Amino acid sequence: MIQIDYRSPKAIYEQVRDELKKLIMMGILKEDEKVPSVREIAGSLAINPNTIQRAFRELENEGFIYSVKGRGSFVSPRKEAEHTERIESLLKEFTSCATELLYLGISKDDLIKTIKEGGNNHDSN
């Protein structure tokens, strides 16, 4: 479910956060579905539970999960209005990346195709 690259320069908690975020965005973990517990993830990955807890805190701060005392963490429903600031920030990043990709030679058609495919299946020749 979650894969960690121990040779990556990215911190382990960031990798866990990003992997869980990807599972949510791909719809593998669905709205209001219980997320595996900190203890379960820590045990399966042989990682300190505090590391997993930090990833959970960030996911909660970003609005991807919510916690229910005594029951665990769950996938948050999408509420676009609550994420306006984050959406604006991501759109700025996207615009910057798209501009750089166009400068580096990717065609507008390839960029549009990549967007339509949800960012998947792009061959980096």
Give the pLDDT confidence of 10-26 residue by residue, as tens digits: 999 999 999 999 999 88
Q: Which two tokens stand for residue 31?
A: 């709205």
Burial of 5 (0-12, 13-18, 19+ CB in 10 A): exposed
pTM of the model: 0.68
| pLDDT of 120 strictly over 60 | no
Per-residue confidence (pLDDT) for residue 42, from 0 to 100? 95
How confident is the model at residue 26, as a pLDDT? 86
* Contact assessment for residue 16 and residue 2, using Cβ atoms and an 8 Å cutoff: yes
Residue of higher predicted confidence among 98 and 83: 98
Question: pLDDT-based confidence at 125, cuts 50/70/90?
Answer: very low
Instruction: Choose among 7, 12, 73, 62: nearest CA to 42.
Output: 12
28-87 confidence digits (pLDDT tens): 999 999 999 999 999 999 999 999 999 999 999 988 999 999 999 999 987 655 567 777
Q: What fold characterizes domain 12-75?
A: Arc Repressor Mutant, subunit A (1.10.10)
Distance CA 105, CA 25 (A): 29
Mean pLDDT, the chain, rounded, equals 87
Q: At what angle do helices 49-61 and 12-25 cross, to 10 degrees?
A: 50
Residues shown for the chain? 125
Residue 78 CA to residue 80 CA, distance in Å, equals 6
